[in-house]
Amino acid sequence: MAGFILGDFNRRVRLLFMLVIVIVLNEGKGNTRAQCIERERQALLRFKQSLVDPANLLSSWKSSNPSCCSWKRIRCDNRTNHIIMLDLHPEFRCRGYDYDCFRSHSISGKIDSALVQLHYLRHLDLSYNGFTRIPKFIGSFKRLRYLNFSGNRIIGTIPSQIQNLTRLQFLDLGFLYSYSTMNANADNLEWLSYLPSLRSLTLGSINFTKAVDWLQSIKKANSLSTLNLNNCQFPEVDIWSLSQTNSSNSLRSLSCLENEIHTRTLPWLLNVSRNLVYLTLHANYDVLPENSFRNLTYLEYVDLSGNEIEGGIPKSWGNLCSLKTLDLSYNSLNGTLHDLLDSLTEISNLPRLKGIHDL
Ligand SMILES: *[C@@H]1O[C@H](CO)[C@@H](O)[C@H](O)[C@H]1NC(C)=O
Ligand SMILES: *[C@@H]1O[C@H](CO)[C@@H](O)[C@H](O)[C@H]1NC(C)=O
Ligand SMILES: *[C@@H]1O[C@H](CO)[C@@H](O)[C@H](O)[C@H]1NC(C)=O
Ligand SMILES: *[C@@H]1O[C@H](CO)[C@@H](O)[C@H](O)[C@H]1NC(C)=O
Ligand SMILES: *[C@@H]1O[C@H](CO)[C@@H](O)[C@H](O)[C@H]1NC(C)=O
Ligand SMILES: *[C@@H]1O[C@H](CO)[C@@H](O)[C@H](O)[C@H]1NC(C)=O
Ligand SMILES: *[C@@H]1O[C@H](CO)[C@@H](O)[C@H](O)[C@H]1NC(C)=O
Ligand SMILES: *[C@@H]1O[C@H](CO)[C@@H](O)[C@H](O)[C@H]1NC(C)=O
C-alpha cells in the first residue's frame, strides 16, 4: 500500500516536472518565432520592390515589421530561423485563359537577385504568376527540394544552372500554353543527370527541337517516378544510342498531352519503364504503334481519350493484365460494344470502361 502511494507521488512529481519542461520549451518557441535573420528580411524586401503585386498578396511584408518569419507566404526553420519556404502561388484561380483576371490576381515583374541571400531555401513555389524569366542565379539555391514555375509564361532558354540543384525532388516547368509559338526552349536535357533525387518532373510548352538527347536523358533519370510532358515539341531520337542506354525502370506515371512526338519515337518513350501504372496519352495520335503496351503489365490506368483511334482495339496493343480503367472517349471507334468487350477481355481482365457513348 505504502509502495503504491509512493509510486503515485513519484508519478505526480514526474508529471509536474514534465509540465515545467513543456512550458519552458514553449517559451523558447515563442521567442524564436518573433526572430528572423535580418539579412534574409532585407533580401525579401528588395525582392518585393521589383515585383508588381496588384492583389497585394505581400501586404504583410513590411519594412516596419522585424519578424519576417510571421510574414505570409514565408516559412522559417523553427530552430535556426532561416527562411526555408517561399510560396507565391495565387490562391485565386482564373478560369481558362482569362488574361485580365490572371493579371490582376498574380505577381509579376523581375525576380531580383537579392533572393540569393535565402541560402537555406528548400521550397520555392512561384507557380501561376506572371514571371517571364527563370534567372540563372536559380542555381545558387543548393538546398532546394521543390521548385515550381508552372503556369508562368517563360521566355528564353531554360538555364542549365538548374543542374546545380542537386537535391531537387520536385521540378515543375509546365509553362503556360501560348497559342502560336513556344517562347521557352531548351538545348538539352543533360541537367537531368545532375538531379539524382528527382522524383517528379513536369515540362510544358517548351520547345525541345534542339535537344536530341531528350529521351536518353529521361531514360537515365533513375529516381524519376512521375513524368508529365504537356504541349512540348521533341525531335526524333537516335534509336541506336537509345538502345545503348539502360532504362530507369522506376517511372510509374507518364502523362503525355498534346506533344509533338514522332510516331516512331513513341514506342521508345513507352519503353522507358516497365513499371508504368498510370498512362495518359492524350496526344492526337491516329495510330498507336503495334505492341505499344507489350511489356507494360503493371498498367492499371490508361487514358487514350482524344486521339483519332479508328475501328476497334487491336490485340497487338499488348497484355494489359492489371488494367482497371481504360478511357477511350473522343476517338473514332466503331463496331459493337460486344466486339469491343471481346477484344478487351483478350488483352486484359475486364476493365472499367469509359467512353462507350462514342461507339
Ligand atoms: C519544427 O519543424 C518540423 C518540420 O520542419 C516539425 O516537424 C516540428 O514539429 C517543428 N517543431 C516545432 C516545435 O514546431
Ligand atoms: C553551379 O555550380 C558550379 C560548380 O559547383 C559553380 O561553379 C557555379 O558557380 C554554380 N552556379 C550557380 C548559379 O550557383
Ligand atoms: C505546381 O503548382 C501548380 C499550381 O499551383 C500545381 O497544380 C502543381 O501540382 C505544382 N507542381 C508540383 C510538382 O507540385
Ligand atoms: C521550335 O524551335 C525550332 C528551331 O529551334 C523552330 O523551327 C520551331 O518553329 C519552334 N517551334 C515552335 C512551336 O515555336
Ligand atoms: C546496362 O545494364 C547492364 C546490366 O544491369 C550492364 O551490364 C550494362 O553495362 C549497362 N549498360 C550501360 C550502357 O550502362
Ligand atoms: C524496348 O527496350 C528493350 C530493352 O530495354 C529493347 O531491347 C527494345 O528494342 C525496345 N523496344 C522498343 C520497341 O522500344
Ligand atoms: C519487351 O521486352 C523485350 C525484352 O526485353 C524486348 O525485346 C521487346 O522489344 C520489348 N517490347 C516492347 C514493345 O517494348
Ligand atoms: C470500322 O472502321 C474501320 C476503319 O475505319 C473499317 O475498316 C471497318 O470496316 C469499320 N467496321 C465497322 C463494323 O463499321
How does residue 335 score in pLDDT terms, banded at 50, 70 and 90? confident
How does residue 132 score in pLDDT terms, banded at 50, 70 and 90? very high
Closest approach atom of ligand 3 to CA 200 = 13
DSSP 81-140: --EEEEE---SS---TT-HHHHHHHS-EE---GGGGG-TT--EEE-TTSB-----GGGGG
How does residue 28 score in pLDDT terms, banded at 50, 70 and 90? very low
Rounded distance from Cα 84 to ligand 1 centre (Å):
12
| Pocket lining for ligand 1, CB < 6 angstroms | 29, 78
Rounded distance from Cα 209 to ligand 4 centre (Å):
7
Tell me the three state secondary structure of residue 182.
Answer: coil
- Going by the DSSP 8-state scheme, the letter that residue 194 receives in this structure is G
Q: Note the pLDDT of residue 289.
A: 75
Closest approach atom of ligand 2 to CA 164 = 1
- Our answer on whether the CB atom of 289 is closer than 6 Å to any ligand 6 atom is no
Percent of the chain residues past pLDDT 90, beyond the cut: 55
Between the two ends of the chain, the Cα-to-Cα distance in Å is: 82
Over residues 252-293, the pLDDT tens digits come to 999 999 898 888 888 889 988 989 999 999 877 777 777 778
The yes-or-no verdict on residue 141 having pLDDT over 50 is yes
- Our answer on whether the CB atom of 161 is closer than 6 Å to any ligand 2 atom is yes
Q: Nearest C-alpha to atom 2 of ligand 5 is from which residue? A: 246
Total Cβ atoms within 10 A of residue 93: 11
SS percent in the chain: helix, strand, coil, step 5:
30, 20, 50
- Our answer on whether the CB atom of 244 is closer than 6 Å to any ligand 5 atom is yes
Give the E-state strand segments of 101-246 in sequence order.
108-109, 123-125, 146-148, 156-157, 170-174, 184-185, 200-204, 206-207, 226-230
Q: Note the pLDDT of residue 18.
A: 54
